[in-house]
Structure 1
Amino acid sequence: MKTREYELDFLKVVATILIMFHHYQQDTRVFFEGKINFFNGKFYFGLVVELFFILSGYFMYDYIKKIEEGYPFPKFYVKRLVRFFPLLFISAACYEVILNWFEQVFLYKWSDISISLWGLIITSLGIQAGWSLDNPVINNPTWYISVLMLCYVIFYFLIYIAKRLNLKVEYLFIVMIFIGMGIRDFGLNLPFLNASSCRGYYAFFFGVLFAEFLRKHKITKKETLICGLVPIILTLLIVYTECLMVKGIDYVMTFVYYPALIIFCKYGIGNILNHPFIGLMGKISFDVFIWHHPVNMFMIIAIYRFNIPCNIYRFRTMLIYALICWVVGTISYICIDKPIAGLIKRKFKYIS
C-alpha cells in the first residue's frame, strides 16, 4: 500500500507560504527595508512555482505503467479536471465579485482587469494560460493549474505514442524539457508554446524523470549530505553575490536546487517530517494556494473601505494575511474540497 510522502507535503507547505508572501508584496508593492523581500528582492520568488511543477510530475510517474496498460484518457483527464474544477470555479467567481467591489470602492479597475464571464469559464476549466487562449487574469495564480492540465494531456499522449512506436517514453520526456527551455530562451509566444507553458514543460517532465531516478537509484548518506549542502551554498551565493547566476537562475533552481532539496528532505530529515499533521497541511495547502490571491484583494479593499487600523506596508500585516489565508484554506478544505471530492467519488465511480 502506497504511503503518503510527508516530506514532500512539507515542501508544498513551505512553497505555498513563499508564493503567498511573493504575491502579497507584488500586489501591495510594499518593500521591507532591512528584511527579506519576496518581490523585487534579490531573488524572484515566483520561481517557487517550478517546485510545484516538479512535484506534480514526480507524482505522475506511477501512471506511466497504467497508461501503457490501457488506462483510458477520458478517465485520466476527467479525474484531474473534477479535482480542480469546483475550487477553480468558486474561487474565480468570488474573485469576480471582489473585482466589482474594488471598482466601486476605488473607482478604477484593479490592474485594468475587466470582469469577464468568459474568463470565469476558461479559468474554471483549467485552460486560462499556456493553451491557445490569452490569460484573462481571473484569480491569476491559478495559471499554474492551467499549465499543469496541459502537461497532463501531453504526458498521457507521449506515453501512448511511445508505446505505439515502441520507444522509451523517457526520451520523449527529455524532448519536452528541451522544448520548454527553447521556448523560454527564444521568447516564443505561440499557442501552447509560450512563457507560461514552457515553465511547466521543463519542470513537470523533469519531475517525472526525477521520480524514476529516485526509484532506481539508492541514495547514499554521502549523497544526502551533499544534497543538504547544495541549497545552503546556493542560497548564500544568491543572497551575498550580486548578479550571480541571474541568467539561467530558473534552470539552477529547477535542475539543481529543488532536486537537492527534495533528496535531503526525503532521505536526510524524512523521519522528522513523518507526521500525519504535515500530511494534512499538505492537503490544505492546495486550497490555500487557490484562495490566497482573492483573500489578499479582499483585505486591501476591506482595510480601505472600513478604515481598519492595519498598515498593509508592515511585515507583521503580511504575517497576519498568511494566517488568514490558512484559516480560509482550512475552511475551504473542510467545507468545500473534501465534501465535493467525496460526492464525486460516490456519484462518478468511473473516474475514482
Structure 2
Amino acid sequence: MDKKRNVAIDLLRVIAATLIVLHHYQQGVDITFEHIKFYGGTFNFDYLVELFFLISGVMVYKSVLDDHITFKEFMSRRTNRIIPLLAISVFVETILRYINDSIINNVGFSRDLLDIVINALGLQSIGLIQTESINQPTWYLSVLLLCYVWLFVCTKVSERLKIDKCYMYLFMMGIGIVTNTYMWNTLFLNRYVSRGYFSFFAGVLLADYFERVRKNRCELASLMLPVIFLGLLKTKPHFLETGDFYFYTLMLWIPVLILVMRWIPNPKRECRTLSFLGKVSFGVYIWNEPMSCVRNIVAALFDIDLCKISTVVWFVVLSWAMAILSYLLIEKPFNSWLKRKKSIERERNESI
C-alpha cells in the first residue's frame, strides 16, 4: 500500500511545475504578458528550482537515516527513477534539436556523441567534463543526484565520527555559499552545484527540525518573511545582488514549506487527481525542453503564432499530457519491471 501523499505538497509541485513551463515559454518565445512576467520580471521564476531542491531534501531525509541501507540501495532508488527517463528525454531532444537546428533553421547542429552520453547519464552539471547542454533544465537532476551522494556520505561520516549530522549539512550549505560567492568552476563546485548544495541541504535541515521540534506558534512568525521579501523585491530589487537564491530559499520557500507541511492539515480523503498530478510533475520538468523543440518545429511548419494566449495555454496542457503519458508508458512499466526483477531475485536467494 502506498504511503499517503501530502496533498498540499502535491499542489505546490503542480503550481511550481506549471510556472516553470510558463517561465521557459516566455524565455524561449520572447512573448510579453500584460500583467506578469514569467521571465525577466522582478520576481525570478528561475528560482522555483530552489523550491524543488528544498522539497527533495525534506522528502529524502528519513530514508538516509536507515542504519541498514547501503549506498547502492539508497542511490538505486533515486537513479532508477531519474536516469532512464532523463536518458530517453536527452535522446529524443537530440533528434528534435537536429531537426529544428539543421533542417528548419539551417544553423547547424553542435552536439556530439560525448555530449549526448554525459547528458543522458546526468553528469552534465558536476564539472567532470565540459559539454554542450542537451535538455538544459535537467541540470537540476544532475545536481540533485550529486546532492543525494553527499547526503549519504555526510550522514554516515557523522555517525562514524559521532558528531551531530546537522553540522555536516550546514557545512555543505557553506560550501554552496562559498562556491557561489567566489564563482568557483571546477569538479563538484560551480554555480549550478552551489544552488543545489545550499537549497537541498537547507531542506534536509528543515526535515531534521520537523523531527526534533514539535509544531509551535512561533513558526507562524516565519510567514512574515515572504511578506518582507516580496515587499523588498518590489521596492528595493537591488538588495538581491548580494545573494539571489539565498533570499529565495531562506525568506520565501522555507516559510512556504513550514506552512504547507506543518499548518495545512492533510485531508482524510486523498485527492487522487491532485496526488497523481503531483506524482507526474517530475515529467513536466523532464519533457519541458523537448516539448519546446516540438513547439518550434510545428510553429515553423504550420505558421502558428506562438504569442497568442491560446497557444500558451495549449502548450501548458500538452506539457502535462506528455508528463502523464511518460509516467504511464515509461516510468510506471519500468518500475513494475524492476519490482518483478527484485522479487524474482529475492525468491531465488531464499531458495538457496
Task: Identify whether the pair has TM-score above 0.5, normalized to the shorter chain.
Answer: yes
Say if 2:127 and 2:188, in contact at 8 Å, map to a contact too: yes
- 1:52-71, aligned counterparts within 5 Å? 52-66=52-66, 69-71=67-69
Given that 1:131 and 1:150 are in contact with CA atoms closer than 8 Å, whether structure 2 keeps it comes out as: no
Alignment of 1:119-198 (within 5 A): 119-198=115-194
**Shift of residue 130, structure 1, vs aligned partner:** 2.1
1:250 pairs with one of 245, 260, 266: 245
Whether the 8 Å CA contact 2:155–2:165 is kept in 1: the answer is yes
| Structure-to-structure mapping, 1:77-156, within 5 angstroms | 77-102=75-100, 103-109=102-108, 114-156=110-152
What secondary structure, in the 3-state scheme, does the structure 2 residue paired with 1:243 have? helix
Q: 2:70 corresponds to which letter in structure 1? A: P
Contact 2:6–2:266 (8 Å) recurs in 1: no
1:20: how far off?
1.0
Tell me by how many angstroms 1:265 deviates.
1.9
Contact 2:91 2:120 in 1 (8 A): no
Q: Distance in 1 between matches of 2:312 and 2:225?
A: 29
**2:38 equivalent to 1:43:** no
CA deviation map 1:293-343 (0-9, x unaligned): 110121012111222xx3212344222211110011111111111111111
- CA–CA distance in 1 between the matches of 2:7 and 2:41? 30
Q: Distance in 1 between matches of 2:261 and 2:43?
A: 25
Instruction: Specify the alignment match of 2:9 in structure 1.
Output: 8
1:100-141 Cα deviation digits (max 9, x unpaired): 1112011114xxx62332222222222111242224311111
Provide the C-alpha distance between the structure 2 equivalents of 1:150 and 1:14, rounded to a whole number of angstroms: 26
Aligned residues: 342
Q: 2:176–2:193: 8 Å Cα contact kept in structure 1?
A: yes
How big is the alpha-carbon RMSD for the aligned residues of Structure 1 and Structure 2?
Answer: 2.2
Identify the match of residue 314 of structure 2 among 297, 302, 320: 320
Correspondence 1:250-329 to 2 at 5 A: 250-271=245-266, 275-307=271-303, 310-329=304-323
User: Is the Cα contact below 8 Å between 2:118 and 2:131 reproduced in 1?
Assistant: no
Instruction: Return 181-190 or 12-21, whichever deviates more.
Output: 12-21
Shift of 1:255: 1.4
Distance in structure 2 (CA, Å) of the matches to 1:221 and 1:279: 28
In the aligned structure 1, how far is the partner of 2:15 from the partner of 2:328? Answer: 21
**SS of the residue 1:245 aligns to:** helix
Unaligned ranges ≥5, structure 2: 347-352
Is 1:211 equivalent to 2:207 in the alignment?
A: yes
TM-score, length-scaled by structure 1: 0.90
Code of the aligned partner of 1:257: L
The separation in 2 between residues aligned to 1:143 and 1:348, in whole angstroms, is: 30
Q: 1:237 to 1:274 in 2, by over 3 A?
A: farther
Letter of the 2:60 partner, please give it.
M
Alpha-carbon distance, 1:238 to partner: 2.1
Q: Whole-Å Cα distance in 2 between the matches of residues 314 and 329 of structure 1?
A: 23
Structure 1: unaligned runs, 5 residues or longer: none
Question: Would you say the 8 A contact 1:21–1:38 is kept in 2?
Answer: yes
Q: CA deviation at 1:207?
A: 0.6
> For 1:340, which of 314, 331, 334 is the aligned residue?
334
Contact persistence 2:229–2:251 (CA under 8 A): no
d(CA) in 2 for partners of 1:285, 1:339? 17
Structure 1, 162-171 or 310-319: larger mean CA deviation: 310-319
2-side partners of 1:242 and 1:81: how far apart? 39
> In structure 2, how many angstroms separate the alpha carbons of the residues matched to 1:193 and 1:280?
35
> In the alignment, is the contact (CA less than 8 A) between 2:26 and 2:39 conserved in 1?
yes
2:64/2:74 contact within 8 Å kept? no
Residue 221 of structure 1: how far off its partner (Å): 4.5
